[in-house]
Amino acid sequence: MKYMNQFLGNIPAWVFRLLFIIIVNFAPVALNGQQLLRLNDAVQQGLVNNYQVQVAKNEADMLSRNISYGNAGFLPSVTTYGSLDKAHLDAHVDVVGGSQLDNKNADATVTSAGIKAEWVLFDGAGMFAKYDKLKSLWKISDLETRITMENVVQEIIFAYCNIIRQQELLKACDQRLKSSNFRYFIAREKLDSKMGSEQELLQSDVARLADSVALLKQTAELKKSKILLNRLLVIDVQRDFITEDSITLVQMPNLDKLTTNSIEFNNLLKINTEQLMYSKLEEKSLKSEQYPMVFLTGSYDYFENNTEAAFIKYNRYFGPQVALTVGMKLFDGRKLNTSLQNAKINIQNKELLLKDTQQQMSAQIAEMYLDYLSLLQTISLGKEALTLAEKNLDITMKSFQLGQISSLELRVAQDDLFLASSNLVNAYYNAKVKETELLVLSCMLIK
């Protein structure tokens, strides 16, 4: 504002003290030389450090470890055992031939040991279904991890751009305070020269103090926005930094491209598809119970019985054993049939939910795209409005200095400029929000 410069030399000392306080509060960037934090760097830090991302990756890693033929039941189970039993008995035995055994102090020792293997040879393809279910669970978890990463990146972009927005609003508050100081100075000059009124001076002073408070509040909002970003990046929340100067919008694909990408690549739709596949595997697993099961067991056993409480005083055997067992469930109270019917209904529900999600996503993208185009037009008009508001304030301040207009008209011009500035930066921020949401839905945010 060229018309304010001529008055800087006449500004009273309290104005400089106020400005000093403001500078101390929000100008450490210039004093300490903070490092520039770019948006891409913030996103990379967040993907590495963010706790939600780490937890999601760990859960996906656990499920990937579960994918094995052993967990699916393809491999045999092997167990070993051993025991030693000793007893002191009061024994009395009568046999058919008339012989008797009476021993009130009979000792008995039984020793056994062995190793046993059991292998399911056939279970109606249930093992194959279980193996595929393990893979399906891992795929769902992996997709959930990608959704978590997308959400974190989205939050980081919002937080980063909000910092830029708060900085621009801070500049608008500072500009309004400067013009309020100018208004106060002119009102005081008029009162000293008997050409103004005390009421006009008081009104200008009230406006100046209100703008000072607004500036301080906006300074706090800027600091809080940096704390939020630091928390998302999992670094010291008090760390200060500088950001890029403006919110940059990318070149968006057309609506058809966004819709096609969302149907083909959206991670939420992929999860719904995978959950449908899992439901089909559940049905397959239930159907396997309709078939017989074939078990192969083998063991090597050792048994020794040394007792004074029986006619056979000593007995021992050892050696391998092999058995083939076939079993089939003939009746279970129709529980299996009920489970199969419920499984079919569950599959139908999953198919319906998938179609509903696809339709909702197409509608959501179409609505967001309209909002995005509207915001782009708002930005274009906002730039023009800001230029006009700046020019209007320059003319108004000159006219106010010459006494051609009232202080109320000057205040209106101040508010118009502040509104134009805040509307423009808010339009940029909202456009960035819609842009990011569209990229998430179309699975284009993270390459």
Q: Where are the domains of the chain?
A: 2-67+123-292+328-441, 72-122+293-327
Q: What is the pTM of this model?
A: 0.84
Q: Which of 55, 69, 180 is nearest to 119 (CA)?
A: 69
Q: Are 37 and 242 in contact (CB under 8 A)?
A: yes
In angstroms, the CA 135 to CA 68 distance is: 9
Concatenating the DSSP letter of every residue in 19-44 gives HHHHHHHH-HHHHHTPPB--HHHHHH
Q: Are 314 and 301 in contact (CB under 8 A)?
A: no
Q: In sequence order, what are the beta bridge partners of 321?
A: 299
If you classify domain 2-67+123-292+328-441 with CATH, what class do you get?
mainly alpha
Q: What is the pLDDT along the chain (447 residues), one digit of tens a residue?
A: 443 444 444 445 444 445 444 544 544 444 445 799 999 999 999 999 999 999 999 999 999 999 999 999 999 999 999 998 887 777 677 676 667 767 677 788 889 999 999 999 999 889 999 999 999 999 999 999 999 999 999 999 999 999 999 999 999 999 999 999 988 888 888 888 877 788 888 888 999 999 999 999 999 999 999 999 999 999 999 999 999 999 999 999 999 999 999 999 999 999 999 999 999 999 999 999 999 999 999 999 998 888 766 666 778 888 899 999 999 988 888 999 999 999 999 999 999 999 999 999 999 999 999 999 999 999 999 999 999 999 999 999 999 888 888 888 989 999 999 999 999 999 999 999 999 999 999 999 987
Q: Are 424 and 385 in contact (CB under 8 A)?
A: yes
